[in-house]
Amino acid sequence: MKTTAFLTDSTLCIGCKACEVACKEWNDVPADGYGWSGHSYDNTMALGHATWRHVKFVESPCSGQTSNQQPTTSNPDWQFSSDVCKHCAHAGCLEGCPTGAIVRTEFGGVFVQEDVCNGCGYCVVTCPFGVIDRRPGDGRAFKCTFCYDRQKAGLKPACATACPTESILFGTLDEMQAKAAARVDTLHARGVSDAVLYDAANSSVGGIHALFVLRGDPEDFNLPANPVVPTVHLRAGWTSAAVASAGMIGGVIAALRYFGG
Amino acid sequence: MTATYRDAPLVKPPVWTWEVPLYFFVGGAAGAAAVIAAAAHFGGAPFALLARDAKWMAAIGALISPVLLISDLGRPARFLNMLRVFKPQSPMSMGVWTLVLFSNAALAALLPIGIAADVAVAVAGVSGAILATYTGVLIGATAIPVWARHVDILPILFGASGLAAAVSILELLGHRTNAMNALGMAAAAVELLIIFALARRGSSSGPLMRGAEVLSGPAALLLRLAAISMPQLRVVAAVVTLAGSLLTRVAWIEAGKRRS
Amino acid sequence: MPGLGTTFGRGGATTAQQDLVNADAILIVGSSMAEAHPVGFRWVVRAREQGATVIHVDPRFTRTSAMADVWVPLRAGSDIVFLGGLINYVLSNGLEFREFVEAYTNASVLIDERYQGPEDLGGMFSGWDAASQSYDPATWAYEGQDARMSEAGHIRGAHAREQGDAKATPGPEGPGHPHRDPTLMHPRCVFQHLKRHFARYTPQMVERACGIPAGDFVDVATRYVSASGPDRTGTICYAVGLTQHSTGVQIVRAAAILQLLLGNIGRPGGGILALRGHASIQGSTDIPTLYDILPGYLPMPVLSEASGSSNRESPGDDSLASYVARYRTQCGWWAYVDRYLVSLLKAFYGDSATAANDFGFGWIPRLTGNHSYMGYWLEMADGGLEGLFVMGQNPAVGGPNAALERKAMGTLTWMVVRDLVLTETAAFWEEQPESDTEVFFFPAAGHAEKGGCFTNTQRLLQWHEKAVDPPGDARSEAWFVHALAKRLKARAAADVSAANAALNALDWQYPEDAHGEPVIEEVLAEINGTTLDGSHLTGFAELAADGSTRCGCWIYSGVFPSRDRNRARERTATGTYGHGWGWAWPADRRILYNRASARPDGRPWSDRKALVWWDAAAREWTGADTPDFNRTKPPDYVAPRDAEGDAGLGGAHPFVMHDDGLGWLWVPSGLKDGPLPAHYEPLESPVGNVVYAQETNPAARMHERPDNAYARPHDSNYPHVLTTYRLTEHHTAGGMSRTLSHLAELQPELFCEISPELAGANGIANGDHVRVITPRSGIRARALVTSRMRPLVIDGRVVHQVGLPYHWGTHGLVTGDIVNDLIPMSEEPNVRIMESKALVCRIEPA
Ligand SMILES: Nc1nc2c(c(=O)[nH]1)N[C@H]1C(S)=C(S)[C@@H](COP(=O)(O)OP(=O)(O)OC[C@H]3O[C@@H](n4cnc5c(=O)[nH]c(N)nc54)[C@H](O)[C@@H]3O)O[C@H]1N2
Ligand SMILES: Nc1nc2c(c(=O)[nH]1)N[C@H]1C(S)=C(S)[C@@H](COP(=O)(O)OP(=O)(O)OC[C@H]3O[C@@H](n4cnc5c(=O)[nH]c(N)nc54)[C@H](O)[C@@H]3O)O[C@H]1N2
Ligand code: SF4
Ligand code: SF4
Ligand code: SF4
Ligand code: SF4
Ligand code: SF4
Ligand SMILES: [Mo]
């Protein structure tokens, strides 16, 4: 099976949230609460156990560009970007999961087996993108399945299918990477100089299977400049634990030896 | 009006509830107790009483720890799924296997089974040391910035804290020996060094952490120093140490829940 | 949709959404298309990616603006000045597509010399009758012709016509041959009238009235207007941001005039895309839920004075012959109004309709007055109605002056509500415990729970299959109406009095399925039309006036051409326009008036913009779309003076519903507030009319009364402009979105959008609770403070705009105040729509 991927292009996104809703419909995801945020048009605010696609609204006055070519002098800038689990090449959640509930599928996606997860919550703290979360009440951890069921049946993920503007493209990873690079070039050629590709390729995450094209600083979109897969900390951690263990054992023996009973 | 996600939390806060810091504390104390038990066990007759009490401590900790761990799970009935896989890259998995090994060994160590008991004591001691320190790896090897930043220190800190707690409990049980006081002072000294190291790294800490640090480091050390000449302070020192040790775990888990 | 109907001949979008990819510029004005038509907006995005310029004209910076090249913020209610400014920009710079204008529009036609316009009369048109507060359009007529010759063009025209009508009296040269000056120089030709009329709509005037800096306006004008000529086209998209005004129809007219001048009609990438509302709202005007038209835009007959009408202005329609005489035109497709009506009557009354009894014409109810939406609600509020059926509507939230409407419901004896959910309408009595209206709530089957047909925004009929059985007692509308009809007929059969004659004559025989639902495809067959032996008609050309055909809606004829071919059900799309997927009325033409995509001689204007052209070898019109023209009529065909119907139109006359075959820059009849658009201030406005002395549309109705109060002009208590609109996340009155968690959570609370400047001046911070107050009511909302709202300088003074989405109510998963309590019940003169897009308010911290 070929590794599949998303390319979510915020320069084509109209912020309609059809992806967010389609995901919920297909996967029967429960409500995420009825709080009003006051943050632009975003009220679900983040990915989580009950929001697997999340449309972000980045609003700033007068930055000088719209999502198309011509810079304008005085327009507000309003970008929409649909976020999703990154299906990391080195996935912190998968690495950290003690039960093996999280697996890599034949499509290269990172998938939580709901019948295995025991809700230990470790994936919650090992995901460098703040994606997966434990659902109160249910107790298990949930996130985007990459529509594993649909992919198996030869269908596109529900979110990509619902997207009216082809802001969410789905295909093989190679294809998406090529399209993403070409898209950024096109945008640059049109004068959209702040268009960037976010792919986390040069980080310890080793690349992601959900690529993003957006304008400006990814950190404005809550995408970390340098995501770190927590497994990189293992060496330092275990070394420290070994030193500490040895120190403790040595110390205890020494103390008993020296001071006696 | 500007609305970006620059100030939004990047990672999800831990979902762990009170059982987890308590488990860190109990596991730490029990693990260190097992180390003491092993050293005492093989140290021979002079340490027989110490060995007996430390073994009991380890064993009781070995019973409580899994209960705490299980009760924190979202799906406690599925605890055994932890044993589906052995995953070196998952500190949680390693920790669970360590706990399994430790619990069995610590309980077996109580049984009159001759040479097998010796093996059990030894295994409990070694796995106990890991049990007391791996929790630092567990939270350090995560995406939570304040934990990950100190992944190289946390195991030592938790090890020292576990040892200090084990020592203090033994002291409260009557083992107010010089050896115990020395171990307590050593642990407090290590914690004091770590406090300095953390401060140098520019870690800002909340009141909880401050309290934990004061109790575990300077307060415990000073009390123990004073107790050399005023033995009646040993009990106070032990209680302060225990409080510090528990608070340390609580403070670190809470720190992970705060935005950093 | 008389704005389009009068200008072009048919009241529907002239183009298809897919065609937007062919546009070089897209002007979206009065719609947040990305939000309210997100799926159709994909074509805008695609066009933009191909290099088209996208311009969004909206008081707010919306999700649509974010995707546009240019956002033009303007004051709500000033669109005629903006569009008039564009028209003036074209005319004063000679930028019109001259050949197109000369050949295909009525630019060259001479107008009655008695005509006087706003230039002469301080903003009024000639013919004003102060007593009836309405215009007599006689002086707006073509020279030598009767103003009302084209009254039959109801497909293009007003819904309400209590006004007088006269027999068509063709001018000396026949209706297809008005007096023309091909040089467009005659001072009384339409083109010169247009120039004079729009001369004052200068960039400076646009700046003063709309708040768009003159320089910015010229920039936008240059960019849009360049999408014109043989090789370039532009499309205008609009929706209710243009229509829900006291001048709504004339705003659309202004857009239509602009497109005619630029040659952007009937051509690929051109046209006017009227974005419609509910799933089948186009269908519900084609086969109307309106009081004053019959299916296929046939005017509803009017009660005559002789039969007891107190309306002295209308002769009434006593006989089929007089009706036909009144509405028939000599030339064009309204010449066959008798065929359409008789076939409809045959569909209604079957064998009971015979030539001897006027095919049952007398059984059609007669109009006796204003039974429009506002009309009957006000009557109800005054206790004049006994009962009401509410089917698929939630007026307690969505209607103007919703508080008044809820109060009105309390005067009824009974009310039937059919809906998917328990709406605020069905539950209105909860806030009126004293009311003793008996409410019957019937659960309705949703669209997935029944089969049938939608007519979408581009006149496309699309069949949909039932996916699941409706739950419990829920039934379809068809079932309900069918069951009701059967019961009524059974009662009438038992009492054959004269009052029941129509019911007894009604031919009501539909086969039923296992659930007692009428077989819905049989209804479509009836709509399509059959001969008396039941074989299907293939199009409206086969209709006859002798009673040998039955047809439920002539414009839909052809959708079901044979028993085994329901074209609405077909799903094999081919080509840009998706022929083979569904069926568009009329006759599967996707781009209306597409004869205009070819030069008068029948060749395409350019290769790039070829659509339909004359194939000289095959001697027929051909191309990528079904020709909206007599397929075999050559481009050089000259209509004989006395020819009738289609034969009366020449080979270069693309607007085949018009008796002159031309696009109407000037509308001699069919509109109640003038032959040309003139800017009037909204009925409530914080500023005066800087264009004319006349402040507001004189023909609009305010229905001012204590429970429908208005702010005084420039009332300082209400200094801000208030506008209302939709969010992608919700649907209209909210019954279908506030009840679903997946939608409700996306916009859980009513908010109002205000600029940081307005917020600052009123001590309001983002997220605060505020009150928005109008003379009708006050409501609570959260403040969303955003620089997407921008204060404008209007005639030298800063004007703030407040935006309110109107989706909340008292029931559902998320609740909130009812915004429409703020809106007055007013009537635009032609379609009687309320002014919910521009009014005044004040805002204060709550
Ligand atoms: N998601 C969603 N889609 C819908 C609906 C829905 O409720 N939700 N409703 C459907 C229905 S019934 C309809 S009728 C259509 C309506 O579709 P639209 O007309 O696009 O919807 P609105 O949001 O009412 O108004 C559009 C825009 O008009 C702007 N506007 C207000 N006043 C003026 C003005 O004076 N001049 C100009 N130029 N612009 C003005 C508003 O700021 C708003 O952005 O949408 C349909 N589609
Ligand atoms: N202030 C302000 N007011 C407005 C507007 C505005 O822009 N501003 N827009 C106006 C416009 S354009 C419109 S269209 C109206 C809409 O106003 P309404 O038509 O009153 O509101 P809806 O919520 O669309 O009502 C439709 C109802 O039909 C139900 N329904 C859906 N499917 C079916 C079915 O198959 N059968 C039956 N029986 N019921 C069904 C739904 O549950 C819903 O309750 O609002 C108007 N009011
Ligand atoms: S983004 Fe997080 S949840 Fe998704 S694969 Fe990567 S680590 Fe796992
Ligand atoms: S919560 Fe479930 S998925 Fe996450 S790490 Fe634990 S067992 Fe694995
Ligand atoms: S791939 Fe499937 S599960 Fe993941 S966000 Fe899209 S719809 Fe949801
Ligand atoms: S469906 Fe597509 S256009 Fe709509 S919000 Fe999602 S990504 Fe954006
Ligand atoms: S709801 Fe239907 S009509 Fe409206 S945008 Fe979506 S697909 Fe189109
Ligand atoms: Mo609508």
DSSP string, C484-529: HHHHHHHHHHT---GGGHHHHH------B-TTS-B-HHHHHHHHH-
DSSP C355-378: GGGGGGGGGSPPB-S--SHHHHHH
pLDDT > 60? residue C620: yes
Q: Which residues of B touch C785 (CB under 8 A)?
A: 1
% of chain C at pLDDT higher than 90: 90
For all residues of chain C together, what is the average pLDDT?
A: 94
From B132-141, C8-17, C96-105, C149-158, the region with the lowest mean pLDDT: C149-158
Shortest Cα–Cα distance, B114 to chain A (Å): 22
**According to the model, what pLDDT value does residue C314 have?**
66
Residues in chain B: 260
State how far residue A172 is from chain B, nearest Cα, in angstroms. Answer: 28
Position C156 scores a pLDDT of 37
The burial of A261, by beta-carbon neighbours within 10 Å (0-12 exposed, 13-18 middle, 19 or more buried), is given as middle
For the cut 70, the answer to whether the pLDDT of residue C225 exceeds it is yes
Residue A251 has pLDDT above 50, yes or no: yes
Structure confidence at residue C163 (pLDDT): 31
Cβ proximity of C705 and C824 under 8 Å: no
Q: What is the pLDDT of residue C301?
A: 94
Measuring from atom 5 of ligand 3, which residue has the nearest CA?
A87
CA atoms of B38 and B49, how far apart (whole Å): 12
pLDDT band with cut points at 50, 70 and 90 for residue B39: very high
Instruction: Read off the DSSP letter of residue C142.
Output: B
CB C276 within 8 A of CB C456: yes
What pLDDT shows up at residue C166? 30
* Closest CA relative to residue C227, chosen from C97, C56, C48, C87: C97
Per-residue pLDDT at C801 exceeds 50? yes
| Interface predicted TM-score of the whole assembly (ipTM), two decimals | 0.94
Q: 3-state class of C444 per DSSP?
A: strand
Number of helices followed by number of strands (H, E) in chain C: 23, 29
Per-residue pLDDT reduced to its tens digit, A125-163: 999 999 999 999 999 999 999 999 999 999 999 999 999
Q: Residue C164: what pLDDT?
A: 31
Measured between CB atoms, does A41 come within 8 Å of chain C?
A: yes
Q: Is pLDDT of C159 > 70?
A: no
Residue B1 contacts C, CB cutoff 8 Å: yes
Best CA proximity match to C282, nearest among C555, C466, C536: C555
Q: Is the CB of A176 under 6 A from ligand 5?
A: no
Q: Whose CA is nearest to atom 47 of ligand 2?
A: C398
The alpha-carbon gap from A28 to the nearest alpha carbon of chain B, in Å, equals 20
C564-581 pLDDT tens trace: 999 999 999 999 899 999
- Report the share of chain B in percent with pLDDT over 70: 99
How many residue pairs bridge chain A and chain B with CB atoms within 8 Å of each other? Answer: 263
Distance C726 CA to ligand 1 centre (A): 6
Closest CA to C732 of C477, C440, C420: C420
User: In testing the pocket of ligand 6, which one of A13, A51, A54 has its CB within 8 Å of the most ligand atoms?
Assistant: A13
Give the pLDDT score at C246: 98
Pocket test for ligand 6, best of A80, A84, A166 (most atoms within 8 A of CB): A80
| pLDDT > 70 in chain C, percent | 96
Give the per-residue pLDDT at C175.
58
Interchain contact, B73 vs A224, CB within 8 Å: no
Q: Which of A88, A99, A117 has the highest number of chain B CBs within 10 A, making it the mutation to test binding with B? A: A99
Q: What is the pLDDT of residue C161?
A: 34
**A196 vs A218: CA distance, rounded Å:** 8
| Per-residue model confidence (pLDDT) at position B259 | 75
How many CB atoms neighbour CB C434 within 10 A? 6
pLDDT tens for C501-515 read 999 999 999 999 988
Between CA C324 and CA C599 the distance in angstroms is: 35
Structure confidence at residue C11 (pLDDT): 87
DSSP state of B141: S
The CA distance from B233 to C696, in Å, is: 92
Distance between CA atoms of residues C344 and C348, nearest Å? 6
CB C480 within 8 A of CB C443: no
Pairwise CB contact (< 8 Å): A80 & C66:
yes
Residues C39-86 pLDDT 10s: 999 999 999 999 999 999 999 999 999 999 999 999 999 999 999 999
Render pLDDT for C391-436 as a digit per residue (tens, 0 to 9): 999 999 999 999 999 999 999 999 999 999 999 999 999 999 999 9
Cβ count near C348 (within 10 Å): 23
pLDDT band at C602 (very low <50, low <70, confident <90, very high): very high
Mean pLDDT to the nearest integer, C171-189: 79
- pTM for this entry: 0.95
Name the least confident of A41-45, C141-145, C271-275, C293-297.
C141-145
**Measured distance CA(C148)–CA(C170) in Å, rounded:** 10
The residues near B229 (Cβ < 8 Å, ≥ 6 apart) are none
Query: C168: pLDDT confidence band, cut at 50, 70 and 90?
Result: very low
Of B122, B119, B191, B204, whose CA–CA distance to B155 is shortest? B191
Q: What is the pLDDT of residue C174?
A: 54
State mean pLDDT over C495-504.
94
The pLDDT, as a whole number, for residue C176 is 61
Name every chain C residue with its beta carbon within 8 A of the beta carbon of A33. 745
Contacts of B56 (CB under 8 A, 6+ apart): B110
C188, containing H or E segment: none
Residues of B in contact with C787 (CB under 8 A): 1
- Where do the H-state alpha helices sit in C105-153? 118-121
In this complex, the residue of A14, A44, A76 whose CB is nearest that of residue C746 is A44
Is the per-residue pLDDT at C461 higher than 90? yes
Chains that touch B (3 or more CB pairs under 8 A): A, C
- The whole-number pLDDT of residue C556 equals 98
